[in-house]
């Protein structure tokens, strides 16, 4: 239960910190943090939680990461479902807290997006379904490669959270204009739950693509990261 609690609160922090920066601070008059700030916020949530709970649960914070670690031989199958449930619940609770905060400002309209992920008309840059699909698969694939490599016992010890946090920052810098960046089904669900409508209708892509990408990343790392006998 300690592991599941850690995943709940870790994912809560990721969604509140990352999506919160997008909803509350990205375009704040005169001092908005912009896309760079939002990208850093997502990376910092993972970096801080990796040091806070990495020794408890491994700090997955993401169903795709859990599946990828399983596919990479680093995580037991019997813990997959409880981890994913804890992550999604943490994300939804964070979405609720963010909704309460954001709705305290006059003119707030959750239907405007609420940091939800989307494609086509709901892509920040108007990118197509195919562009969104490729982006989410490739970005999650590379995320898993970095996670598996940075946490390999042969890698420099104690540095993994920094590499993983900066990797997530880079992923956001690349892909926010395309999909608003998911690479994390729990993060997508946590805000889509409150938007409903189009965000829920398109949510399936932000479960499927990250999981496919994570498995691909795990398969690739098992090939390039294997040791010679």
The answer to which of 26-40, 83-97, 163-177, 189-203 has the lowest mean pLDDT is: 26-40
The reply to whether CATH 3.40.50.1970 applies to domain 2-224 is no
User: Smallest Cα–Cα separation from 87: which of 110, 117, 113, 67?
Assistant: 67
Distance CA 130, CA 133 (A): 5
pLDDT of 110 higher than 80: yes
pLDDT of 34 higher than 60: yes
User: Smallest Cα–Cα separation from 45: which of 161, 217, 215?
Assistant: 161
Whole-number pLDDT of residue 184: 97
Whole-number pLDDT of residue 35: 87
SS3 117: coil
Tell me the mean pLDDT in the region 62-76. Answer: 95
pLDDT band at 155 (very low <50, low <70, confident <90, very high): confident
Whole-number pLDDT of residue 84: 97
Q: How far is CA 131 from CA 45, 107, 109, 134, in A?
A: 27, 32, 27, 5
**Are 133 and 205 spatial neighbours (Cβ–Cβ below 8 Å)?**
yes
Q: How far is CA 141 from CA 72, 125, 182, in A?
A: 12, 22, 13
User: Who's near 197: CB < 8 A, 6+ residues apart?
Assistant: 111
pLDDT band at 131 (very low <50, low <70, confident <90, very high): very high
Whole-number pLDDT of residue 111: 81
Q: How far is CA 117 from CA 46, 101, 139, 198, in A?
A: 19, 20, 14, 10
DSSP labels for 131-158? Answer: HHHHHHHHHHHHHHHHHHHHTSTTSPTT
Residue spans of the domains in the chain: they are: 2-224
Whole-number pLDDT of residue 207: 97
**Which tokens in the block code for residue 80?**
């997959």
pLDDT band at 136 (very low <50, low <70, confident <90, very high): very high
**Which tokens in the block code for residue 171?**
């992923």
Distance CA 43, CA 47 (A): 6
Q: pLDDT averaged over the chain?
A: 92
pLDDT band at 228 (very low <50, low <70, confident <90, very high): low
Tell me the mean pLDDT in the region 135-140. Answer: 97
Distance CA 21, CA 8 (A): 20
Confidence (pTM):
0.91
DSSP labels for 15-58? Answer: HHHHHHIIIIITT-TTT--HHHHHHHHHHHHHHHHHHHHHHHH-
119 φ/ψ sector (left φ>0, alpha ψ -120 to 50, else beta): beta
Whole-number pLDDT of residue 229: 47
Share of the chain above pLDDT 70, in %: 97
SS3 181: coil
Whole-number pLDDT of residue 105: 87
Tell me the mean pLDDT in the region 166-188. Answer: 96
Whole-number pLDDT of residue 28: 62
pLDDT band at 1 (very low <50, low <70, confident <90, very high): confident
């Amino acid at each position: 239960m300690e592991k599941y609690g850690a995943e709940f609160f870790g994912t809560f922090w990721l969604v509140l910190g990352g999506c919160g920066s997008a909803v509350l601070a990205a375009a704040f008059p005169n001092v908005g943090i912009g896309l760079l700030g939002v990208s850093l916020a997502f990376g910092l949530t993972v970096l801080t939680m990796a040091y806070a709970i990495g020794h408890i649960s491994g700090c997955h914070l993401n169903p795709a990461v859990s599946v990828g670690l399983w596919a990479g031989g680093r995580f037991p199958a019997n813990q997959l479902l409880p981890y994913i449930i804890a992550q999604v619940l943490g994300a939804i609770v964070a979405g609720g807290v963010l909704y309460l905060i954001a709705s305290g400002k006059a003119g707030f309209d959750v239907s405007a997006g609420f940091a939800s992920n989307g494609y086509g008309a709901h892509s920040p840059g108007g990118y197509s379904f195919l562009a969104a699909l490729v982006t989410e698969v490739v970005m999650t694939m590379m995320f898993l490669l970095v996670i598996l490599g940075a946490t390999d016992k042969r890698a420099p010890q104690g540095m993994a959270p920094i590499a993983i946090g900066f990797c997530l920052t880079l992923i956001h810098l690349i892909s926010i204009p395309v999909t608003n960046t998911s690479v994390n089904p729990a993060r997508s669900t946590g805000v889509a739950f409150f938007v409903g409508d189009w965000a829920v209708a398109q949510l399936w892509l932000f479960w499927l693509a990250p999981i496919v990408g994570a498995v691909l990343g795990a398969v690739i790392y098992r090939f390039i990261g294997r040791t010679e006998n």
